[in-house]
Chains A and B, each alone.
Chain A
Amino acid sequence: MTALLEVNGLRTRFHTPEGMVYAVNGISFHVDEGETLAVVGESGCGKSVSMLSVLQLIMVPPGEISGGVALYRGQDLLKKTDNEMEAIRGKEISMIFQDPMTSLNPVLTIGRQIIESLRKHIGMDQKTAEHRAVELLDLVGISDGLRHLDDYPHQFSGGMRQRVMIAMSLACNPSLLIADEPTTALDVTIQAQIVELITKIRQQVGMAVIWITHDLGVVAGIADRVIVMYAGFIVEEAGVDAMYENPRHPYTSALLNALPRVDQRRGERLKSIAGAPPSLLVEPSGCPFVRRCEYAIERCKIENPPLTLVEPAHTIACWVDIRTGVPR
């Protein structure tokens, strides 16, 4: 099976007054048709920036995509002009964002915001587009859509707005949906509804989803494959079951250990990872996780481990086999 999107060696950095920020440092991954890929990692590890880079949504300057290719159906997105990208964004690849409270334009009606991309990408006339907008609202669970077309975002709750965002992103039947922490800003019950909604729609329309999150619970429920990012690098990639049952990178393992467990004794402190992620202002050398890693050896300080296949469909970037604690 050929990949829908294949990213190779993507590097993104930002020129800031404090110096160069190395946000994404040569990451490679792929998404197949109809697959759900989860990208996890803590805040600032480059999850969002890498996806924004793929769509050329990074502000240039200060941003700069300094290397790599992003092949979507065989075409390099990073080489496309603004006009060519406009035809792809929203039509082939859509994106939804973290905060539904700010992602909708407060002065435009819901209807107009959904209809806009229908008219632009598919060239629908106003009537047909309105009809389609009502269908879309129905699809995302907002009934009586006709009445809501003339509503403004401020009349909607956070969950409703995220549904509208999803309706907008689905308008042109994209092949790939990039969901950038779509549930982070919502409360837990709404989170569950939105997760369920996207999963349901994904099955209905058969699109691929890249789900950016730091909620490992969500990942377990929806993803086919998982990528773990740390300080602008991919440190582990595996199928979702392998990732949870058999994490092979020290960071992934520590991350999973830090999850609160139902069977944990009351009053027991939650485990955490000591230290803080490295400053992205320093050009990376050696393994980015070395200072927080309990398995670190001399080699980790000098040489950054490349992603290596350790089991079928399971790659990690580590010099050490954490099951035995000895260098591989």
Chain B
Amino acid sequence: MPGWIRGSGMIEKKNSMTAVTAQPKVATLIQDELDTPPLTLGQLTWRRFRRHKMALIGGIVLIFLFFYAFGGSLFASEKYANFNDTSISMQQPSVAHPFGTDAIGRDILARTIYGGQISLIIGLFAVMIETFFGILVGALAGYYGGVLDNILMRITEAMLNIPEIFLLIVMAKFFSGKIPDLEITGRTFSGSVVVIVVIIGATSWMYLARIVRAEFLSLKENDFVLAARATGTSNAEIIFRHILPNSFAPIVVTATLGVANAILAEAYISFLGLGVQPPTATWGNMLDGANNYLDTAPWLWFFPALLILLTVLSINFLGDGLRDALDPRSRAS
């Protein structure tokens, strides 16, 4: 019996009854658990997460991928990644260029490193925007209900009705080239990175908004919300300090999976040539450069595609593991 249900007299009684009739081994096991101090929620979550082997592997692979993308810049400069020399174009993987070179002679290894940075940054920042809007819309709609709920949910549904890819392409086309390049800590980011982050974020918050709304609809009926109101807590405090932390689990899971979707979406529109513009590399626009050489130079697409696959797969496993670990209904196991 886990520590968190120890407070409930009913369950405790039931368990001690089974302890009497069950095998002696089971009885001592329960006794042992009662003697240990109760685990914190974090410990319980970690305990359940650990059981999920694929999620654990996913998490480890992700850590390696982050090291690869962000640690790799210590070994290869961005200048080198964007340096082209047509005399060494289309070279097969070799010692000098372990992943080969592309059509204009850039080193693919270096480009997957810097492309990885951009892809991961796009994934993370797009999800931040997604989470912000998703929580805001969902929380307000779910908590206040009524007219506000109706308006916000109709907007959400309207957004959902437009195919996301279509929205992405139209917005990417509309905004492309309108944002100047950004200069952050001595590095130049193509303005298209910002555009892509914003449009991916702006087209993906609807599912999260619905999830958050559903959570709020059920959580606001809880006695602790009434109790909080009875001690004079304001609506804003109830929304953000009392209810929101209770819906942490589904938000974390959705946001995690959202990172994978954002990376895929970026790859998709970059592959169509509408995303992040060269010379800034992303895994997606590296694929775009490779689609003329699918069979003649497979190293052009193999490495960026492999990295996208690994990242998305790892994030999905991690998300699955988190879902199981954070789901209160699976706590009994």
The residues of A with any CB-CB pair to B shorter than 8 Å are: 55, 57, 61, 82-83, 85-91, 94-99, 101-108, 116-117, 120-121, 152-158, 160-161, 165, 168-169, 171, 187
Contact = CB atoms under 8 A, between A and B. Distances in A.
Interface stretch (B52-60, B104-112, B229-237): B229-237
Interface in B1-19: 3-9
A106 B230 contact: no
A298 to B, nearest CB: 43
29 contacts: A61-B146, A85-B232, A86-B233, A86-B234, A88-B232, A89-B229, A97-B230, A98-B223, A101-B7, A103-B224, A105-B224, A105-B242, A105-B245, A106-B246, A107-B245, A116-B237, A117-B232, A117-B233, A120-B232, A152-B41, A154-B4, A154-B7, A155-B7, A157-B7, A157-B9, A158-B8, A161-B7, A168-B227, A169-B231
Contact of B8 (A89, A101, A104, A171): A101
A-B pairs with lowest CB-CB distance, top 5: A90-B231, A90-B232, A89-B232, A102-B223, A95-B230
B230 A155 contact: no
A165 B227 contact: yes
Given A89-B232, A154-B41, 17 more contacts: A82-B235, A86-B232, A97-B227, A99-B223, A101-B8, A103-B223, A104-B224, A105-B224, A107-B245, A116-B233, A152-B41, A154-B3, A154-B5, A154-B7, A155-B3, A158-B9, A171-B231
A289 B187 CA distance: 81
A57 B226 contact: yes
A87 B232 contact: yes
B174 to A, nearest CB: 42
A283 to B, nearest CB: 26
B41 A187 contact: no
B229 A116 contact: no
Contacts of A95: 227, 230
A91 B227 contact: no
- Chief secondary structure at chain B's binding surface: helix
Contacts of A57: 226, 229-230
A156 B223 CA distance: 17
B228 interface: yes
Contacts of A88: 232
Interface in B248-307: 248
Given A86-B234, A107-B248, A169-B231, A97 B7 contact: no
B222 interface: yes
B230 A94 contact: yes
Contacts of B146: 61
Interface string B12-44: 000000000000000000000000001011000
A150 to B, nearest CB: 10
Q: Give the interface size bracket for B toward A.
A: 20 to 34
Nearest to A168: B231
B230 A105 contact: no
B7 A158 contact: yes
Contacts of A158: 7-9
B222 to A, nearest CB: 6
Given A152-B41, A155-B7, A157-B7, A106 B224 contact: yes
Nearest to B5: A154
A285 to B, nearest CB: 32
B230 A108 contact: no
A27 to B, nearest CB: 20
Interface in B204-226: 222-224, 226
A91 B38 CA distance: 34
Given A101-B7, A105-B242, A155 B232 contact: no
A312 B237 CA distance: 48
Nearest to B40: A152
Nearest to A89: B232
Contacts of A171: 231
A210 to B, nearest CB: 13
A88 B229 CA distance: 11
Contacts of B9: 157-158, 187
Contact of A105 (B6, B38, B41, B228): B228
Nearest to A100: B223
Contacts of B229: 57, 89
A104 B4 CA distance: 14
B92 to A, nearest CB: 56
Contacts of B233: 86, 90, 116-117, 120
A309 to B, nearest CB: 34
A57 to B, nearest CB: 6
Contact of A156 (B7, B224, B237): B7
B38 A89 contact: no
Contact of A108 (B6, B232, B245): B245
A107 B234 CA distance: 18
Nearest to A158: B9
Contacts of A83: 234
Nearest to B244: A107
- Indicate the member of B223, B226, B227 with the most A CB atoms within 10 Å: B227
A156 B9 CA distance: 11
Contacts of A161: 7
A94 B223 contact: no
A247 B102 CA distance: 97
Given A107-B248, A153-B7, A154-B3, A116 B231 contact: yes
